[in-house]
């Protein structure tokens, strides 16, 4: 069965940080997307496509904007229920709120409940793909991948590994258990349907060198997996890392020594970087994941998007929930804009939209399948109402250009702006 999904369709011709944003990101007014077997077949003018494909089921979204499904490139689904916990900075926030909540995932039924709740929240917010940390419990990984399988969502995830006494005992594994359990999960899930496994050491301060070494070896044995962790989020954390790894040249080196710095490595935050780290991350073609609502909420600092993009880094955009304060990638784009202003780079709405879709897909090295609306791509789509609240509508109506019309939704929009979400061409019920 073919389907035509009509609206104002966003397509990409290039990187809006390399060519003019309004040239790189095109908005085709009055267009329709033809979908067959969950993939995009073609895009054309609405009336032309209707005449050409009279049998196709017609989904008319009027003047709504149709964008690639949002891709949240770094999140912690187990932190769903403790999002917006008050008053702490990173290390105290982890100890006070995060670790006690993550301990609850020893209970598989609790993990199933949160995984389902979380993915439904994502779909309601127009996010069709997430790269998530789980907890040290292998059942927390099964819970998320099973919930994703039920929704046919492309989800990237992995068991969070921690074996140092800096983490509470109830949340510690060992170097060997981290290797064995991650390996068994890779064999069970990696490449099954839309599931992709990410080897997941939480961050250097909660792993021993032996654990990072074991996970580096595991990655070398399964090179098509991704690897996700955290890097240089807060200055206190960097000082802590220096104390725990006294011979390391810098924070990145604590990963580099163990084979964890190469293409397919996703470094969350990466704010306070040394020149050597910036150069080596680029040389190794690693991905930096910007988490703006988290960086302001936990008080971490300002990621320099303008500098990192002009150096040619792969940069994805992410919520980092529950460190981040929202499940919405629209809200995340707004926070990225605000941090851009504080770092002297006024990000164009076309750049923000591109980062939340193609940029994240590129960071995950999946831009051949995800992150744009083009023939052959998986048909994960988000439909956005550009007048979803009275406050947005009264501003949008004065707009003289399409980007002026889109920007109020970027800055002020949330799940109320998401009028439909399609996963592999099927409309998600949320």
- If the CB atoms of residues 319 and 409 are measured against ligand GUN, the closer one turns out to be 319
- If the CB atoms of residues 251 and 422 are measured against Zn ion, the closer one turns out to be 251
Q: What is the DSSP string of 197-232?
A: EEEEE--GGGS-HHHHHHHHHHHHHSTTSEEEEEES
For the bound state, the minimum distance from the C-beta of residue 40 to Zn ion, rounded and expressed in Å, comes to 31
Taking alpha carbons only, the member of 317, 298, 318 closest to residue 309 is 317
For the bound state, the minimum distance from the C-beta of residue 297 to ligand GUN, rounded and expressed in Å, comes to 9
For the bound state, the minimum distance from the C-beta of residue 202 to ligand GUN, rounded and expressed in Å, comes to 5
Chosen from Zn ion, ligand GUN, none, partner binding at 70 (C-beta under 5 to 8 Å by type): none
From residue 26, give the alpha-carbon distance in Å to each of 47, 146, 277. Answer: 19, 36, 35
Nearest position to ligand GUN, beta carbon = 323
- If the CB atoms of residues 268 and 292 are measured against Zn ion, the closer one turns out to be 268
Chosen from Zn ion, ligand GUN, none, partner binding at 151 (C-beta under 5 to 8 Å by type): none
**CA separation for the pair 200, 34 (Å, rounded):** 37
Side-chain-side CA neighbours of 111 within 13 Å: the count stands at 25
- If the CB atoms of residues 298 and 420 are measured against ligand GUN, the closer one turns out to be 298
Return left, alpha or beta for 425; rule: phi > 0 is left, psi -120 to 50 is alpha, else beta.
Answer: left
- If the CB atoms of residues 21 and 323 are measured against ligand GUN, the closer one turns out to be 323
For the bound state, the minimum distance from the C-beta of residue 323 to ligand GUN, rounded and expressed in Å, comes to 3
Chosen from Zn ion, ligand GUN, none, partner binding at 61 (C-beta under 5 to 8 Å by type): none
259, 219 contact by CB (below 8 A)? yes
Chosen from ligand GUN, Zn ion, none, partner binding at 386 (C-beta under 5 to 8 Å by type): none
**CA separation for the pair 124, 245 (Å, rounded):** 42
Q: State the residues that interact with ligand GUN by CB under 6 A.
A: 76, 90, 94, 98, 202-203, 230, 233, 294, 298, 320, 323
Number of DSSP helices (H) and strands (E) in the chain, helices first: 18, 16
Chosen from Zn ion, ligand GUN, none, partner binding at 328 (C-beta under 5 to 8 Å by type): none
**CA separation for the pair 297, 323 (Å, rounded):** 7
228, 200 contact by CB (below 8 A)? yes
Chosen from Zn ion, ligand GUN, none, partner binding at 202 (C-beta under 5 to 8 Å by type): ligand GUN
For the bound state, the minimum distance from the C-beta of residue 178 to ligand GUN, rounded and expressed in Å, comes to 15
Q: For the sheet containing 426-427, what is the strand order?
A: 39-45, 25-36, 3-12, 57-68, 381-384, 418-423, 426-427
Chosen from ligand GUN, Zn ion, none, partner binding at 408 (C-beta under 5 to 8 Å by type): none
Distance of alpha carbon 302 from its chain centroid, rounded? 18
For the bound state, the minimum distance from the C-beta of residue 268 to ligand GUN, rounded and expressed in Å, comes to 7
From residue 82, give the alpha-carbon distance in Å to each of 16, 97, 135, 206, 375. Answer: 36, 7, 14, 21, 40
- If the CB atoms of residues 90 and 373 are measured against ligand GUN, the closer one turns out to be 90
User: What 3-state class would DSSP assign to 316?
Assistant: strand
**CA separation for the pair 422, 114 (Å, rounded):** 22
- If the CB atoms of residues 200 and 345 are measured against Zn ion, the closer one turns out to be 200
Q: State the residues that interact with Zn ion by CB under 5 A.
A: 268, 320
Widest distance between CA atoms in the chain:
69
- If the CB atoms of residues 328 and 421 are measured against Zn ion, the closer one turns out to be 328
Q: Could you tell me the two tokens for 203?
A: 């961050």
- If the CB atoms of residues 23 and 92 are measured against ligand GUN, the closer one turns out to be 92
For the bound state, the minimum distance from the C-beta of residue 203 to ligand GUN, rounded and expressed in Å, comes to 4
Chosen from ligand GUN, Zn ion, none, partner binding at 128 (C-beta under 5 to 8 Å by type): none
For the bound state, the minimum distance from the C-beta of residue 25 to Zn ion, rounded and expressed in Å, comes to 28
For the bound state, the minimum distance from the C-beta of residue 74 to Zn ion, rounded and expressed in Å, comes to 6
Chosen from Zn ion, ligand GUN, none, partner binding at 203 (C-beta under 5 to 8 Å by type): ligand GUN
For the bound state, the minimum distance from the C-beta of residue 162 to ligand GUN, rounded and expressed in Å, comes to 9
328-341 b/e (C-beta count within 10 Å ≥ 16 → b): bbbbbbbbbbbbbe
- If the CB atoms of residues 325 and 419 are measured against ligand GUN, the closer one turns out to be 325
Chosen from ligand GUN, Zn ion, none, partner binding at 21 (C-beta under 5 to 8 Å by type): none
315, 309 contact by CB (below 8 A)? yes
């Amino acid at each position: 069965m073919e389907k035509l999904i009509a609206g104002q369709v966003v397509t990409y011709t290039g990187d809006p940080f390399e060519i003019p944003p309004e040239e790189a990101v095109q908005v085709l007014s009055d267009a329709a997307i033809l979908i067959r077997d969950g993939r995009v077949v073609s895009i054309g003018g609405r009336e032309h496509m209707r005449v050409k494909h009279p049998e196709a089921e017609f989904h008319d979204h009027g003047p709504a904007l149709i964008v690639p499904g949002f891709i949240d490139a770094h999140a912690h689904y187990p932190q769903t229920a403790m999002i917006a916990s008050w008053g702490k900075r990173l290390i105290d926030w982890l100890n006070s709120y995060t670790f006690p909540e993550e301990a609850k995932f020893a209970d598989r039924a609790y993990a199933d409940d949160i995984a389902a709740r979380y993915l439904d929240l994502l779909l309601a917010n127009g996010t069709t793909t997430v790269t998530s940390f789980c907890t040290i419990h292998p059942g927390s990984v099964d819970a998320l991948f099973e919930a994703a399988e039920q929704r046919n969502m492309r989800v990237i995830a992995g068991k969070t590994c921690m074996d140092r006494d800096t983490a509470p005992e109830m949340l510690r594994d060992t170097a060997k258990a981290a290797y064995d359990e991650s390996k068994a999960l890779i064999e069970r899930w990696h490449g099954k349907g839309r599931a992709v496994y990410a080897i997941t050491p939480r961050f250097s301060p909660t792993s021993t060198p032996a654990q990072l070494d074991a996970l580096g070896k595991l990655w070398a044995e399964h090179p098509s997996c991704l690897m996700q962790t955290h890097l240089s989020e807060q200055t206190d954390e960097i000082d802590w890392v220096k104390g725990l790894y006294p011979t390391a040249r810098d924070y990145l080196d604590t990963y580099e020594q163990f084979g964890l710095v190469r293409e397919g490595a996703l470094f969350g935050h990466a704010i306070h970087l040394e020149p050597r780290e910036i150069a080596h991350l680029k040389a190794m073609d690693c991905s930096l994941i910007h988490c703006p609502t988290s960086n302001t909420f936990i008080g971490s600092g300002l990621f320099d998007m303008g500098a990192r993009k002009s150096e040619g880094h792969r940069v994805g955009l992410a919520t980092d929930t529950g460190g981040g304060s929202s499940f919405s990638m629209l809200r995340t784009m707004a926070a990225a804009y605000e941090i851009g202003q504080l770092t002297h780079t006024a990000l164009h709405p076309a750049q923000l939209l591109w980062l939340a879709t193609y940029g994240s897909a590129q960071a995950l090295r999946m831009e051949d399948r995800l992150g744009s609306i083009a023939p052959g791509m998986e048909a994960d789509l988000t439909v956005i109402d550009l007048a979803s609240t009275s406050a947005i509508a009264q501003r949008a109506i004065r707009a003289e250009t399409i980007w002026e019309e889109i920007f109020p939704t970027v800055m002020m929009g949330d799940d109320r702006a998401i009028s439909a979400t399609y996963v592999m061409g099927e409309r998600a019920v949320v």
